[in-house]
Structure 1
Amino acid sequence: MKLERLLIKSKFQSLNSQKLSQVFKNSRKKSAWGIDINECFLRVAKITQVSQELLIDDLGIIEIPQVQSESNDSQSADVKKAIQAFLSKHNILKEDKVVMSISGQSVLPRFINIPPVEKKQLKGIVNYEAKQQIPFDLKDIVWDYQQLTEKVADTNSIEVGLFASKRATLDQLLANISPLETRLTAIQAVPLAIYNLISFDQQINGLTIIINSETESTDLIIVDGLYFWLRSIPTSKVDADLVKEIQRSMEYYKSLMREASNFQTILLTGNKFNEPNNVKFITDNFTYEVKIFKTLNNVKLSSNVNATDFNENILHFTPALGLALQGIGLGRIKINLLPPERIKTAEISKKKPYAIASLGCLALSLLIQYSGLYTRNTYLQNSETLYQKVLQNIKELEGKYKNAETHTQTNKSALDLISSVDPSRFIWLEGLDKLVSLIPNNVSLSNIQSSWIDEGAINSSKKVSAETVQPKKTVASTKPGPLKKLLLMGIKGESQEPSMRFIEEHIIKPVQSLTLFDQKVAAFKNVEIVPGSSRQVERKNGQGNHISFEIRWIVKSIDEIHDEENSVISLNGTSTPPNKS
């Protein structure tokens, strides 16, 4: 009977001390099957990761008849039948991962301490150590390793675990599951699969021993905070001999520890503990708290799984669930005893579609290149005619450009005049309506006019001369000087009230205070009666005398209005500016 030390410092704290969102790094859907085969059962479990949730999507137990024979042929035939029965009932998708179990009795563990080195140097050192530590020719075994402790500045070594199994054992397993061989991604030892499940799903408080008792063997896994230790015992009976071996293992573990260790909990799993008498026997022979693995904390059941059936058989599925967790990348121990050549074959098989697609793309690329060369050759053959046409088009475009340039220069003066016009030209949108509305009923308008004048045409007294009333003709110039234009407006009309005072009160003053749009100050300045325009008009029809008049003013620029509004704001909130007529 072998007793191996497996003292592993975990890279992670207990799952319950972390948020699940930190564990699930990829939110896309992933699925994996765990397939656990022993002498009596084929047990399968499928776990699907969707976003940050793990779901058990499928479960199955298929019994394998026990054969009392020195030959394994009958047993292998029954295993193959069980695999066929599994495939007939369960659908494995193309993208699903498949991880298979191998018993702890079939795996040889070795643990070595090596100097802390970089990862690129680790493989070479471990390969050398494997030749020294494993008592078999490396050609006859399949082995894998995992760095178990991190490189820390204060330590002078790191611990690496080696796990090996005979090729003959693995070849027999692969022959029995040949329909699944191409879908297989990993082979893992049962006790390591159980540890992956417990460390992921359960809250372990204090020093705990996990007892997994199956038909052909019993696995012991001791979990001690950041460490764990395991042993496989080749017995399937829960009796006094098993209790002695468990106690011996617990004492041996204590001897490995520098500090005193006290066990607190026993966790039972495996199909043997479906029998209440076996549970009672363990409880009666130990003083520690005994628990049965019967609840999942971080994995849920999907609607495809019957909750009652699962709860009744949960002790069967601990290895299969641990294998499935490793398949989707959530197992702490990632050992893979699948022969390397088969891993390469599987990788090549996965890459075949991409290789075919690459060849197709290459062929398409060559076809496109040939087509391009043919087209280019035809193009070159006609290049002379094409170039002549291009040159002719260039000459025509050059002539059109020169004509357009001449036309632009001709109209540049008018364009400059338009661009220099103050934005107040848009007062017609609102000014006419307000202007007409303020005219009294006994006053009639005969004319409303406007024109643009040069600012320099206004004399120092801000009186507009009669000569500037008429709009000047714009003379086109290729280089016009910068002129500021003012908009001059005026109205002509007659008042039935023959009094200038009436005109001043009811027409001039309203025009002086008229505001436009949302402005806060008057829009017009220099509002005045045109000299000589006022005169009495005698009506022959007996309607009495009327008075004719003409009033003109200048529209303020936007800048002037803004300046006046700012002045109003600065004068202690004054809302009505002084009249600037």
Structure 2
Amino acid sequence: MARSRNVWGIDIGKCGLKALRCSLSPQPGKLVAETFDYIEYPMLLTQPEADPTELIRDALEEFLRRNDVAGDTIAVSVPGQSGLSKFIKLPPVEASKIPDIVTYEARQQIPFPLEQVVWSWQRLEGGIEESGFVIDAEIALFAMKRDQVTKAIEPFKESDIEIDLLQLSPVSLANVVMFDQLPNASEIDPDAPPASIVLASMGVDTTDLVITNGLKIWQRTMPIGGNNFTRALVQGMRMTFAKAENLKRNAARADDPKKVFQTLRPVFNEFASELQRSLNYFTGQDRTAKIGQVLLVGNAAKLRGLSDFLAKQLQLEVHRLREFKSLEGDLVLKAPVFRENQLGFSTVYGLCLQGLGVSSIRTNLLPSDVTRDRLIQAKKPWAVAAMLGLLVAALINFFGIYIAWSSYSENLFADAFTQVDSVVGKSSQIQSSLEQVQAEQLEILDTQQRLARISDRRFQSLDLIRAIESMIPRDEPDKTDASLRDAIQAEKAEAAEEANGLPVIPVSINYDELHINSLDCQYFEDLSTWFEPLEEDWKRTVARDQFETNDAPEKTPATDTEGQSNAESEANTESESEADTELGEPSFEPEESEPEVPAGEGWVVQLVGHHFHNEDYHAPFEGRTYLRTTLIESVLGERG
């Protein structure tokens, strides 16, 4: 069953059972009281004729008849004298070694082997932690013997109430003071803490004393309680215990109230002396501590005149804790039974605080084996159901396989196998087609993306073509086809007349034209990678140009060797190959004309074409020289 967000705090006292059900309020720092219950025993558990086991069992059964606790968290308290509480100040130590020190301290402080006790600890607020070291740290150590724990939870186990939290009553009271009466521990200045509050919870036989300022806690159990007042009336007024108990509760309405208070005065003095002794011991241990006020809780605190008497004797502010500042829920708080017994609900209020996770001290004395056994017990039905389910599933699977095996015949499924093979073949074919289409799609997408990336450069390509077109040589406008034909006819006639004349140069060969066969361009992130394999060819080209220039200075016009080499490496022509054959390989000194290696990103444009200035009679502007003096000089901006 899923857990609800409600917590039941249950306190089995010696005069009655007190229970309070709370939940967190939407308002931060507040709790909502959902419901409560108060079941008073027919007699005190300490009376000789009382059967505590029977009385507690009857009270729990009555509680379950009145209330539904299914799904709620159950927190239970045990008397302070049933356990051990120690508040130990640690020396400066590494934070990681605190658990080891606590274990050592537990062996020293607990007067029983640790295997025989249930113990828990918590580091209190305060102290300074720097660079992994803790200074002025204080821990709270709580322990109970295992037989005492078993005795405390036995009535709940018999009533089928599963306990989630077991806590000492003084610890619950300390949580009430720190949550309801003091500022949040994170808001307290360790160097200037508030005045300590003393909470005295008066029980039947003992009084639990808790002193705290929100950072430090001191606790003691005083051996005096409500029964001391009752026994004083029994001895002083010669009456039965039951009548004395009734008279104590209604002392103000007695026939002779003055005599009643005179009879109780020795107990008043004894209680005040014991309380003063405890306070003196506390202030002696902590010289800087200041006592602010004393709060009285417990049904015995309702005794008329007790708070005024203690205030006079202790010279301190003494009040009954009649209001829980952080508890809401008028349905509970304004109920007559709750208002009459509110002083007895402090412990269960503290249990609810811890169960809801808003308390300062969060230790739990419920043995881990109890929690483990409960988890195992809760999972047993599910484990059995899972095993049965697996068994049924295995049987069904077995019979299914058996039936399928017994009814199988290969001939019955021959057609099905054939159809399956056919379908598999079609599926494979379709899959192959699909993969082919996907590959084509990816190729198209790649082309599309590539075209999209270069879409901005389409105008650059046009501009490049226009620029190249503007730089190639062109014939004069008057060299029309008609005029050329006439010139050719005239030349033929003249050649016929002069049989021994010189060879006539065809006029058509004198076309001042350069034909571009192809244009290609490529982008390089580093132009040196393009130039490196061409470097040797470049050197040979430069050497050949120098050779030609030195050999025929009168025939070849001066050119820019460096610009020429760069352009010639990009333009491949028919004349270039012919010139290489005729000139051979001249010697070249690299140190005289070392290339300027291009670097950085850029485009390489390659032009492939031809021209008709390749004969000797075209000298000095034939072959490579014609290309250099026309297109390349135009590219380099050297042509007028």
User: Residue type of the partner of 1:262?
Assistant: K
Classify 1:393/1:77 alpha carbon distance in 2 versus 1 (closer, same or farther; 3 Å). closer
Classify 1:299/1:175 alpha carbon distance in 2 versus 1 (closer, same or farther; 3 Å). same
- Aligned partner of 1:298 in structure 2 is 326
CA contact (8 A) 2:11 2:18 kept: yes
CA contact (8 A) 1:114 1:159 kept: no
- Aligned partner of 1:97 in structure 2 is 73
Q: Does 1:352 align with 2:380?
A: yes
Structure 1 residue 376: deviation in Å? Answer: 8.9
Q: Does 1:62 align with 2:31?
A: no
Task: Looking at secondary structure, tell me which structure has more helix per residue.
Answer: 2
Residue range with higher mean Cα deviation, 184-193 or 173-182: 173-182
- In 2, distance between residues paired with 1:159 and 1:398? 76
Structure 1 residue 229: deviation in Å? Answer: 1.4
Task: Looking at secondary structure, tell me which structure has more strand per residue.
Answer: 1
1:245 to 274, 280, 284: 274
Unmatched 5+ stretches in structure 1: 1-27, 403-581
Q: Does 1:256 align with 2:285?
A: yes
Q: Does 1:148 align with 2:137?
A: no
CA contact (8 A) 2:182 2:214 kept: no
Classify 1:310/1:400 alpha carbon distance in 2 versus 1 (closer, same or farther; 3 Å). closer
Per-residue deviation, residues 338-386 of structure 1 (Å, max 9, x unmatched) = 3443232223223334434544564576568658867997899677644
Structure 1 residue 36: deviation in Å? Answer: 0.9
Q: Does 1:326 align with 2:354?
A: yes
- Aligned partner of 1:218 in structure 2 is 207
CA contact (8 A) 1:29 1:49 kept: no
Per-residue deviation, residues 155-213 of structure 1 (Å, max 9, x unmatched) = 35743332222333333333344434651122211110111222223345532212222
Structure 1 residue 66: deviation in Å? Answer: 2.4
Output the TM-score relative to the length of structure 2.
0.51
Per-residue deviation, residues 480-537 of structure 1 (Å, max 9, x unmatched) = xxxxxxxxxxxxxxxxxxxxxxxxxxxxxxxxxxxxxxxxxxxxxxxxxxxxxxxxxx
- In 1, distance between residues paired with 2:333 and 2:391? 48
CA contact (8 A) 2:14 2:204 kept: yes
Classify 1:203/1:157 alpha carbon distance in 2 versus 1 (closer, same or farther; 3 Å). closer
Structure 1 residue 401: deviation in Å? Answer: 12
Classify 1:372/1:30 alpha carbon distance in 2 versus 1 (closer, same or farther; 3 Å). farther
Per-residue deviation, residues 51-85 of structure 1 (Å, max 9, x unmatched) = 666321221222221266669x7232222222222
Per-residue deviation, residues 435-488 of structure 1 (Å, max 9, x unmatched) = xxxxxxxxxxxxxxxxxxxxxxxxxxxxxxxxxxxxxxxxxxxxxxxxxxxxxx
- Aligned partner of 1:76 in structure 2 is 53
2:313 to 263, 285, 289: 285
Structure 1 residue 116: deviation in Å? Answer: 4.5
1:389 to 415, 419, 430: 419
SS, match of residue 148 in structure 2: helix
User: Residue type of the partner of 2:121?
Assistant: Y
- Aligned partner of 1:473 in structure 2 is none
- In 1, distance between residues paired with 2:26 and 2:402? 52
- Aligned partner of 1:275 in structure 2 is 303
Q: Does 1:194 align with 2:173?
A: yes
CA contact (8 A) 1:57 1:305 kept: no
Identity %: 28
1:47 to 22, 38, 46: 22
Per-residue deviation, residues 380-433 of structure 1 (Å, max 9, x unmatched) = 96776444214435777999999xxxxxxxxxxxxxxxxxxxxxxxxxxxxxxx
- In 2, distance between residues paired with 1:399 and 1:170? 77
Per-residue deviation, residues 306-349 of structure 1 (Å, max 9, x unmatched) = 53432332111000111122223333222222344323222322
CA contact (8 A) 2:33 2:328 kept: yes
- Aligned partner of 2:579 in structure 1 is none
- In 1, distance between residues paired with 2:339 and 2:417? 84
Q: Does 1:138 align with 2:114?
A: yes
Residue range with higher mean Cα deviation, 320-329 or 347-356: 347-356
Per-residue deviation, residues 8-31 of structure 1 (Å, max 9, x unmatched) = xxxxxxxxxxxxxxxxxxxx9411
Classify 1:302/1:261 alpha carbon distance in 2 versus 1 (closer, same or farther; 3 Å). closer
CA contact (8 A) 1:55 1:302 kept: no
- In 1, distance between residues paired with 2:321 and 2:140? 27
Classify 1:372/1:282 alpha carbon distance in 2 versus 1 (closer, same or farther; 3 Å). farther
- In 2, distance between residues paired with 1:136 and 1:129? 13
Q: Does 1:164 align with 2:153?
A: no
User: Residue type of the partner of 2:212?
Assistant: V
Classify 1:366/1:50 alpha carbon distance in 2 versus 1 (closer, same or farther; 3 Å). farther
- In 1, distance between residues paired with 2:153 and 2:23? 25
User: Residue type of the partner of 1:244?
Assistant: S
SS, match of residue 224 in structure 2: coil
Question: Greater CA radius of gyration, 1 or 2?
Answer: 2
SS, match of residue 129 in structure 2: coil
SS, match of residue 18 in structure 2: strand
- In 1, distance between residues paired with 2:35 and 2:48? 35
SS, match of residue 266 in structure 1: strand
- In 1, distance between residues paired with 2:47 and 2:339? 35
User: Residue type of the partner of 1:49?
Assistant: L
Classify 1:247/1:379 alpha carbon distance in 2 versus 1 (closer, same or farther; 3 Å). farther
User: Residue type of the partner of 1:233?
Assistant: M
SS, match of residue 311 in structure 1: helix
1:106 to 78, 82, 88: 82
- In 2, distance between residues paired with 1:78 and 1:201? 33
- Aligned partner of 2:344 in structure 1 is 316
CA contact (8 A) 1:30 1:50 kept: no
Structure 1 residue 140: deviation in Å? Answer: 3.8
SS, match of residue 195 in structure 1: helix
The 5 Å alignment of 1:31-46 reads: 31-46=6-21
User: Residue type of the partner of 2:40?
Assistant: E
User: Residue type of the partner of 1:290?
Assistant: V
Unmatched 5+ stretches in structure 2: 184-193, 230-266, 433-640
CA contact (8 A) 1:42 1:61 kept: yes
Classify 1:375/1:280 alpha carbon distance in 2 versus 1 (closer, same or farther; 3 Å). farther
- In 2, distance between residues paired with 1:270 and 1:152? 39
- In 1, distance between residues paired with 2:356 and 2:81? 26
How many residues align structurally?
373
Residue range with higher mean Cα deviation, 81-90 or 282-291: 282-291
What RMSD, in angstroms, separates the aligned Cα atoms of the two structures?
3.9
Output the TM-score relative to the length of structure 1.
0.55
Structure 1 residue 262: deviation in Å? Answer: 2.7
